[in-house]
Each structure stands twice: as C-alpha cells, then as structure tokens.
Amino acid sequence: MWTQTLSAPFTFEKLEVEAPDPADLQPGQVLLATTAGAICGSDLPNFRGAPFPHPRNLGGRVTRVPGFPMHEVVGQVVASRHPAHETGDLVVGWASGFDAIAELVVSDGEGLARYDTSLPATTAVMLQPLACVLYAAEQLGDLRGKTVAVIGQGPIGLLFSHILKNRGARHVTGVDRIDRSELASTFGVDEAVTASAALWAAGLTDADRPHVVVEAVGHQVSTMKNCLDSVAFGGEIFYFGVPDDHVYPFDMMTLLRKNLTLRAGVTLERRRVLEDAGTYLAANPGLRDAYVSDVYHVGDIQAAFDAASSPRHGQYKIAVSMA
C-alpha cells in the first residue's frame, strides 16, 4: 500500500509498504481505508523534527513510521473486531497510531464513529476537532452570563468561540495576531481582537477581564502568562491541546492571589463525543462551509504541512484528500 512518511524534518517521502493483515487485528481494532485526513496543530512539532509519541517509538529509537504524523481521519471500515463497526461503515475520528497518511490504517474502534455521509469526507474531518472542543467545553460547566476570551482563533479557537457562545457565554472575545474578523459572526465571536495576547491582556481594566480564558494556541509558554494576567479574579483558565514541553513555568503567585482555576485534559468518551459532534454540526450547518479553508491531495502532503506551519489570513482548517 502507499504511505507518506517523514524522512527528515520538514520532508515527506512516498513509500510502498506491506498492507496490514485483517487477521492481525486485536479485539476492539478496525482496519480503515482512508478517504481524508486533516492537520492538527499537535502534528506540527513532529513535522519540524520533535521526538514523536508513536506507540512504536519505545525508548526513542524509532526515527520514522509510515503515515506519521496525522491522527484526524475519515475512512471506510475494511475489517473490524469492534462490535460498533461493520465492514463498509464510513467513520470519522482518531487514528490511534498517529499514522493516517496512508492507504490503510489500523485504529482503536472506540475513537471512531459513523457520520452523516452527505458530508464530503474533507468536510467530515472537522468532526474530530469539534468532538475534542465539545468535550473540553463540558468540563467548563455552566457558562450562562459569563464573559469568555479565546486566545487563538485558528481551527480550534474558532470552535471554542462558537461552542462557548452556544453554551450561554454572554460575551466572547477572540484574540489572534492574524485578522480573523471575517468569520467572527459565523463562529459566535462578539469582539474580534487582532493583536498579540500580551498586548490585549496589558490593555484590560479590571472591569474588562473575562471570567473564563481559553488558551487555544499552544506551542509556547508565554500565552499561559497572558491568560493569568487577563482573567478575572476567581476565574478559570482552560489550556487546550498537547504541550510541546513537559514542563511549563508560570506565575504561581498570580494563580494563588487571583483565586484561579486551571484546567486541561485529554478527550475521553471519544465515540460518544464524535456522535455529539455530528449532532452539533447538523444543528449549526453554517459551520460546514466556513471551517475547512484549504484541501490538498495527499500527493501534495508536503505543501499541506508547509501551509499549516505558516498561518495566514483566510487559512483555517487544512484537510487532505486521500482519494
């Protein structure tokens, strides 16, 4: 089967490798023929050369794995040892081996769910990040009447803005260094701020400080300080995503003196929240055409990752067609 793999930092290489044998599936696993995938911000450090969290990379000795790094996947079930999935099902979700840039992929069936097949596969990819954000929003509880700020208005930040507004937030501020105002109303943003998080936080008065701040940028330590500086006394910060570094230094005294709550966490109950994502998208169809801004063919995977590494005005979610 064909696959793309990182042969060096920033460099993909197309390979032909042996296809997975359905007879080797473990209980709970499925074999998918991929139809689409999408690039997540957590894929980019690995593209740039960071050590990768692949299950085969025990002890850090594996330098490359076919299909890595991509975990957002849409595909058709070729074989299944999971009771919820049958051969022929069209599903969306997580490629549990982070190796979805391939013709076939073995994955955990609990991280997959059926979707509305009227959606093109390159649109259905949005259900996986939508599921992640829905699960995170559940952890924030009742938002009715609260003010919210989302730092970062890329693919994840936009979904946070929409979902938190939908869950009752009184006012949503979206902060990004790139002008994202063209999609502000579509995604529930009441105030689109084009500035660094540091400049925005420095200009707030006590009356302006949001009750909840979501850090939806990742990949650096500095924005955590901006969250601590900007949030209101007694407020809450949600750090979303996979940190690049294991240890993040931050101002513990501010956390203490402002009586703040800091949350983070991975997405659990994945099949359930994928189904919830399908319901949410059906109820908010205006998101379908706005979210995925760019679609690349898998043969142009290098260009797709290069683009994802360089955010620009008008670029949001990047999908990859495997057909």
Digit-coded pLDDT (tens) for 96-106? 999 999 999 99
What pLDDT is recorded for position 127?
Answer: 98
Contacts within 8 Å (CB) and 24+ apart, 9-15: 9/47, 9/48, 9/49, 10/47, 10/48, 10/49, 10/305, 10/306, 11/302, 12/101, 12/301, 12/302, 12/305, 14/299, 15/66
The residue to which tokens 């998208």 are assigned: 281
Which class would CATH give 2-128+269-321?
Answer: alpha beta
Give Cα 186 distance to the centre of its chain. 19
Which phi and psi (to 5°) does residue 65 adopt?
-135, 130
Residue 248, CB-side half-sphere exposure with 13 Å CA sphere: 18
183-220 pLDDT tens trace: 999 999 999 999 999 999 999 999 999 999 999 998 88
* pLDDT, averaged across the chain: 94
pLDDT band at 172 (very low <50, low <70, confident <90, very high): very high
With 60 as the cut, is the pLDDT of residue 55 above it? Answer: no
What pLDDT is recorded for position 59?
Answer: 54
258-294 pLDDT tens trace: 999 999 999 999 999 999 999 999 999 999 999 999 9
pLDDT band at 167 (very low <50, low <70, confident <90, very high): very high
The CATH architecture annotation of domain 130-263 reads 3-Layer(aba) Sandwich (3.40)
Structural domain spans, the chain: 2-128+269-321, 130-263
Token pair belonging to 286: 């205006």
Pairing of strands 212-215, 236-239: parallel
Task: Report helix, strand or coil for 299.
Answer: helix
pLDDT band at 65 (very low <50, low <70, confident <90, very high): confident
Contact between 77 and 32 under an 8 Å Cβ cutoff? The reply is: yes
What pLDDT is recorded for position 174?
Answer: 98
Residues β-bridged to residue 102: 3
